[in-house]
Structure 1
Amino acid sequence: MVAFVVLGLQSRGYRPFERAISAMLLLIAGGFLFELLYVGPEPAQAFAGLVPTLPGEGSAYLAVGIIGATVMPHVVYLHSALTSRRVAAASDAERRTILRFERWDVVVALGAAGLINLTMLMVAAELFHGSGVAGIGGIEDAYAGLGSLAGGAAALVFAVALLASGISSSSVGTFAGQVVMAGFLNLRIPLAVRRLITMLPALVVIALGLNATDVLNLSQVVLSFGTPFALIPLLLITRDRAVMGSFASSRRMTALMGAITTVIVGLNGYLLYEQFLGTR
């Protein structure tokens, strides 16, 4: 219901919706920054953890999920829908100015998402692994563990940040769903129905009483598998001078994006191999 209210802000233009999402993002970032400072992981260990590794069973599954949770292919479509006709450009010089602002927009948004995910991982590693606590199997366990190990204030901040994250994710995901249905599938159905269809899977999960954490992890893995379907067309289109003209990506940028896409596809393929063939 809250997500529907947030989406209703679009009737007043894009700005109110974006401000609401930005406010929740700041709340999430502030909450987990508080947790990070409160728990205080060792800087050397934190930086060492930035080195990509697959240390054990199930690590590939989690790594793929983290990629899906950070990049989120549906947001690529949504961002395009939000910005494609925001400001009309009369010349290439104006287009370059708009693109410069858009570049910073993407860098800040993805950077913030990445830092929030890193912060959550560092807090969990320092608090639970460092204390020897085991059996943290879900979000509820993490909340209870924070309360017992770090105090009620830390648990409350975690709960508020998580609530803001859920509302913003539901709003953005639903908005992306309606964009995909209208723009890719060409389904011309009432807006409220489009939003309800997009949110239906989450409501089904709640109604069936499924483990929310397991479903969340699975949904993030599915997002990672959807990422190449956003990145590969983006790679092909942005390098095409017939489409982009003077704004086509350089060979260096195309090669870099191709390498990133290859890594994501390779990691997804490795996960499939591990899940279905690795145990044989």
Structure 2
Amino acid sequence: MFHGPLSDKDTQASALEILERRSKKRGLARVLPFLGPAFVVSVAYMDPGNFATNIQSGAQFGYLLIWVVVVSSLIAMFIQSLSAKLGIVTHKSLPEMVRQEYRPGARYFYWIQAELAAMATDLAEFLGAALGFHLLLGVPLLWGGILAALASIALLLLDRYGFRPVEAAISVLVGLIALAYVVELFLAHPDPGLVRGFIPRFEGSDSVLLAVGILGATVMPHVIYLHSALTQQRIPVQDPALKRRLLFFNNVDVVIALSIASFVNVAMLVAAAATFHQTGRTDIADITTAYQTLTPLLGPLASAAFAVALLSSGLSSTVVGTMAGQLVMQGFVGFAIPLWVRRLVTMLPSFLVILLGLDPTQVLVISQVVLSFAIPFALIPLLLFTGNRRLMGELANPPFTQALGWLIAAVITALNLYLLVQSLT
């Protein structure tokens, strides 16, 4: 999946030489060296939280809400392209820009809320990985958590060899998720009538609520912070013309990676619709129940593919969440701890949930409530900074982009507040 980190020779060459050399290639070979950052952040858009939402939507309403998943993916592409743009143009991450532009009190407030959001995200994702081991290997959930801890620490230790091996490992896991859902679709035999799901429509208030859940969970604050950090010094350029070309290649990276994430989310919903909705099992709204129901309906291969996808999603997303937490700390307050130490600390709440015997799916829902508070604190500064000509120069967002960005920010914030109220009541 991941094919092209720049070689040591490239990284030692000037940015101009790198881009000129790449520009002589054509087609996919020209783009491959620039792929990577968006594949890392794409994991957040197909994490275990998406499994629960998409399965419930497909089981309850069939193919009705496919269009909502597609719209959510387009919104994600727009936001992540702005985050990558901030890193490329300013050579600073979003947390570093907040530290530069805001007063100390605001910086520490931003850091605390971002850490809480990263912890809430990691809680859901680590539980997803533990549940994946539990389902795939048949081990108790506690042992699934221990295996998830060891596997995630092993992936994070790749960082000592540079960030590119981590990108490669995460990209492989993304490929496994996509492959698993190709198998799911093949076994589920979806109805050709699924094309009607691309037509925007609803069927009652429950479908509206589920659509709000899908849209409201589109933006994951930690990967907005992370994407700007992944691109800030990847290929350092100063000339605006070169930055424009680099922005083009990074937008290609975003479109490819998040299109794969979109396919996975659509495939989750379609597979659930074909397997559960069409057989009258509209009550399926739980990851474990969905897994257990797949075997009698489609056979053991389908349930195994589902467990592999969940495990790959949980492992990759929990690693990304840990890296995001590290970059948030470095950016906002200029302090860092070893990644493996952060991993040990942040997985303690997950083990507490497992030891207390709490429902993992219910914990996923609660984590989304916490995340709803953090979304405006990532989106609003991103729009303020990328639209500021003092910071971005001639590459500042044009008026249309700013207007669209503020509209998206307002809609997502309102939807998450609505979800928050619904969850609490």
CA deviation map 1:108-157 (0-9, x unaligned): 23322222122111211221111012543422211111111011111111
Q: Please name the residue that 2:131 is paired with.
A: none
User: Which residue identity is paired with 1:193?
Assistant: V
Residue 227 of structure 1, CA deviation: 2.4
Q: Please name the residue that 1:122 is paired with.
A: 270
Q: Please name the residue that 1:229 is paired with.
A: 377
User: Which residue identity is paired with 2:236?
Assistant: A
* 1:145-156 superposed matches below 5 A: 145-156=293-304
Question: Within the alignment, does 1:78 sit opposite 2:232 as a pair?
Answer: no
Three-state SS of the structure 1 residue aligned to 2:347 is helix
Cα distance, 1:188–1:21 mapped onto 2, change above 3 Å? closer
Q: Distance in 1 between matches of 2:366 and 2:207?
A: 12
User: Which residue identity is paired with 1:217?
Assistant: V
Q: Please name the residue that 1:197 is paired with.
A: 345
Which residue of 233, 246, 254 maps to 1:98? 246
Q: Please name the residue that 1:250 is paired with.
A: 398
Q: Please name the residue that 1:34 is paired with.
A: 183
Three-state SS of the structure 2 residue aligned to 1:71 is coil
Residue 191 of structure 1, CA deviation: 3.5
- Greater relative contact order (CA < 8 Å, ≥ 6 in sequence): 2
Residue 42 of structure 1, CA deviation: 2.4
TM-score, scaled relative to structure 1: 0.89
Q: Please name the residue that 1:5 is paired with.
A: 154
CA deviation map 1:71-103 (0-9, x unaligned): 322111111111111111142222112211221
Three-state SS of the structure 1 residue aligned to 2:175 is helix
Q: Distance in 1 between matches of 2:364 and 2:165?
A: 28
Q: Distance in 2 between matches of 1:128 and 1:225?
A: 33
Residue 160 of structure 1, CA deviation: 1.0
Q: Does the aligned pair in 2 maintain the 1:89–1:95 contact within 8 Å?
A: yes
CA-based RMSD of the aligned residues comes to 2.3
Residue 274 of structure 1, CA deviation: 4.0
Cα distance, 1:156–1:190 mapped onto 2, change above 3 Å? closer
Residue 41 of structure 1, CA deviation: 2.1
TM-score, scaled relative to structure 2: 0.60
Structure 2 residue runs of 5 or longer lacking an equivalent are 1-149
Cα distance, 1:8–1:66 mapped onto 2, change above 3 Å? farther
Three-state SS of the structure 1 residue aligned to 2:170 is helix
Cα distance, 1:142–1:21 mapped onto 2, change above 3 Å? same
Residue 20 of structure 1, CA deviation: 0.5
Residue 104 of structure 1, CA deviation: 1.7
Q: Does the aligned pair in 1 maintain the 2:387–2:397 contact within 8 Å?
A: yes
Q: Does the aligned pair in 2 maintain the 1:231–1:261 contact within 8 Å?
A: yes
Structure 1 residue runs of 5 or longer lacking an equivalent are none
Which residue of 5, 14, 17 maps to 2:166? 17
Question: Within the alignment, does 1:112 sit opposite 2:265 as a pair?
Answer: no
User: Which residue identity is paired with 2:267?
Assistant: T
Three-state SS of the structure 2 residue aligned to 1:182 is helix
Q: Distance in 1 between matches of 2:346 and 2:325?
A: 5
Q: Distance in 1 between matches of 2:203 and 2:369?
A: 16
Alignment length (residue pairs): 276
User: Which residue identity is paired with 2:172?
Assistant: A
User: Which residue identity is paired with 2:264?
Assistant: I
